[in-house]
Structure 1
């Protein structure tokens, strides 16, 4: 079947591809803790130097952009989160954690979650199954050693999801994934039509700073969107989640959002959210645990 074009596939083939990993039952609860109107789950992908390293780029220029994320961006995130009393989830490649072990300790000391984000931000869809598995196990062990707690969740690098990612996630005993996009609200993942017990905390490029604010000198990526315009999109996403009584999830990167003008926009977004009554701020692990018990 591998040499056939998609229009030549029989129904069993195309259904098999579609059904391999699928959204199952909704895990949206009837209510949030304490009668809150909306759940807010902020997350930060602390990629740092692994963005160039994953492509074999070892020169100081690109690496310094990543270093900014740890040296400047992450401390700014921590101060902002402390100001508003917001717990967050930090998804960290193991190599990034090994380069910045003090940062991992700072996350833990502030009460935030440290979760998996690959070994070196590798593209798992280009890996052999055994390679993807070995890197995932090694990353989990590394984060446990550095943070003192075994991670319970994963966000795959670049949200890539191979044919084997879910099986590896289940083997690791992880409670949740946050890499897929089939809903606005949490749901249970299915594997070939069967429930897995893995909670999906869905992401979306709309709610990510990278599409709006990334700069790549040698590629097409340019920060065409002013930071406040990006924040306006996220504000609308929050307002609609609030109206519906659902989940507002946001993905940010310290090396991207951590610059001064962008922090100003993020600060205004948090001010907007904080002005609302009935907001429950939680880590992704906290969301996953709650919806599994109350859906």
Structure 2
């Protein structure tokens, strides 16, 4: 099988090199899913100065499984997330009275239905994160659609909550992803990175009403702490150094009156030395007055209402 990048390049270029494209071709690619107007509100609920939306992607065993890696060693790294990381995270969130959003692959929910229900029972949100963390840009449109719809139904059945939002696996968008999200009738996406604050997504220049809650790799734990012994992927940052980046990101959002969004993974952040960093971050945020802690769905619903998008 070709590496994902090669397949994307071939599909996008239609067997032509980018410098050979006509203007309408590169414009078409750029405009497919584009940032529309900012949905940053004039103010946040209860007079809050900034909003904080924490999210966790409990990928667990699906990262190796999606690549047909079935040996116990790799699977055990993911199992750590469910066995150790999730309980630590839930306990921390409870101590600080902070709601969060958990974007969960359906296979993870099927492996541990009690985990999926445990999130919603504690007042957290469960969102779509693929079936088995598949590489959606390698899928036919019909297969991507079927897996996304199946994931939504599975999460609803197991968590007791119909998903309102999606974070695509690896934050990837195929040529068909936006259309599938619209057909599913979701409130928001959290995969695209065109702003710090919420914005409306445009499809080929047309307004969609879909709210984007943009993540960013610098606000993601995996880029700093991931370890794979068979590749050159190695942790390159001391956890407490990463804490300073995240504090600075929050401080800027607070000054600007914007959104501070975080993406973390139980099998990454859930280790002892890294949970210290998350605890430190929450304590830092807690020293600021006027912070609204919310799930991604709550943020999306609020900014959409404030912008008068309806629906």
What is the match of residue 226 of structure 1? 238
In structure 1, the partner of 2:192 is 180
In structure 2, what is the equivalent of residue 265 of structure 1? Answer: 277
Equivalent residues in 2 for 1:137-148, closer than 5 Å: 137-148=149-160
Structure 1: 5+ residue stretches without partners: none
What is the aligned counterpart of 1:51 among 63, 88, 96? 63
Q: Give the SS at the match of 1:249.
A: strand
TM-score by length of 2: 0.94
Matches within 5 A, 1:27-46: 27-46=39-58
Report the Cα distance in structure 1 between the residues aligned to 2:235 and 2:267, rounded to whole angstroms: 13
CA distance in 2, matches of 1:138, 1:105: 18
Question: Could you tell me how far apart the structure 2 residues matched to 1:149 and 1:35 are?
Answer: 29
Q: Structure 1 residue aligned with 2:263, among 251, 267, 285?
A: 251
- Residue 4 of structure 1, CA deviation: 2.0
User: How far is the alpha carbon of 1:70 from its aligned partner?
Assistant: 0.5
The alignment status of 1:77 with 2:89, answered yes or no, reads yes
Paired with 1:3 and 1:163, the residues of 2 have a C-alpha distance of: 16
In the alignment, the residues of structure 2 paired with residue 231 and residue 128 of structure 1 have an alpha-carbon distance, to the nearest angstrom, of 40
Equivalent-residue separation in structure 2 for 1:228 and 1:270 (angstroms): 14
Residue correspondences, number: 295
- Structure 2's unaligned 5+ residue stretches are 1-12
Match of 1:171 among 165, 172, 183: 183
Q: How does 1:72-221 map to 2 (within 5 A)?
A: 72-221=84-233
State how far apart, in whole Å, the 2-side matches of 1:110 and 1:3 are: 50
* Separation in 2, partners of 1:134, 1:212: 33
Is the CA contact 2:224–2:237 (under 8 Å) kept in the aligned structure 1?
A: yes
Distance 2:63 2:32 in 1: 29
* Dislocated runs of 4+, deviation >4 Å: none
Deviation at 1:72, TM superposition (A): 0.6
How far, CA to CA, are the matches of 1:29 and 1:231 in structure 2?
A: 27
